[in-house]
């Protein structure tokens, strides 16, 4: 039986491995007290199901919102892009200044082969 590779847990492990990120969460806090903060939202859907009804490939979308109250998020952004790109994920980013708080949004997308453990992009 093919198990779906859990990119949610892998993503949180990866985010927590970056020492520059001081807080990692899956929900927005009521107030921001710790910076830099990473808020992660993850979704997935079946991309290919075989004739035995096993999900062989899963399409993942991982969105990471980074927040900092001063300074730059460039180093953290580059580290995340490098780590996810090494796995095979594509990304797009956007940044904005929210009244003194800098926000960078990175969206990673890829199709994970649950049997081979590889990541493919949509073609």
- The Cα 53–Cα 77 span in angstroms is 38
Give pLDDT, residue 53: 94
Give pLDDT, residue 2: 83
Q: Would 57 be classed as within a structural domain?
A: yes
Give pLDDT, residue 99: 85
Q: Would 44 be classed as within a structural domain?
A: yes
CATH of the domain at 40: 3.30.2000.30
Give pLDDT, residue 123: 57
Average pLDDT for runs of 10 along the chain of length 123 = 92 97 94 94 97 96 97 96 97 92 97 96 71
Give pLDDT, residue 121: 84
Q: Would 2 be classed as within a structural domain?
A: no
Give pLDDT, residue 48: 96
Give pLDDT, residue 20: 96
Backbone angles phi, psi at 45, to 5 degrees: -150, 155
If DSSP codes are grouped into helix, strand and coil, which group holds residue 118?
Answer: strand
From the list 73, 16, 65, 78, the residue with the least C-alpha distance to 39 is 65
Task: Specify the number of domains making up the chain.
Answer: 1
* Residue numbers of the domain that contains 100: 7-120
Q: Would 26 be classed as within a structural domain?
A: yes
Instruction: List, for residues 72-86, the tens digit of each pLDDT value.
Output: 999 999 999 999 999
Q: What is the pTM of this model?
A: 0.94
Q: Would 1 be classed as within a structural domain?
A: no
């Amino acid at each position: 039986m093919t198990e779906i590779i859990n990119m949610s847990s892998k993503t949180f492990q990866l985010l927590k491995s970056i020492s520059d990120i001081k807080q990692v969460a899956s929900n927005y806090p009521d107030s921001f007290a710790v910076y830099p903060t990473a808020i992660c939202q993850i979704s997935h859907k079946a991309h290919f199901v075989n004739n035995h009804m096993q999900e062989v490939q899963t399409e993942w979308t991982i969105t990471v919102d980074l927040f900092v109250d001063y300074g730059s998020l460039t180093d953290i952004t580059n580290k995340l892009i490098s780590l996810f790109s090494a796995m095979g994920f594509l990304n797009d980013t956007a940044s904005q200044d929210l009244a003194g708080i800098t926000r960078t949004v990175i969206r990673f997308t890829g199709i994970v082969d649950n049997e081979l453990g590889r990541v493919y992009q949509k073609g």
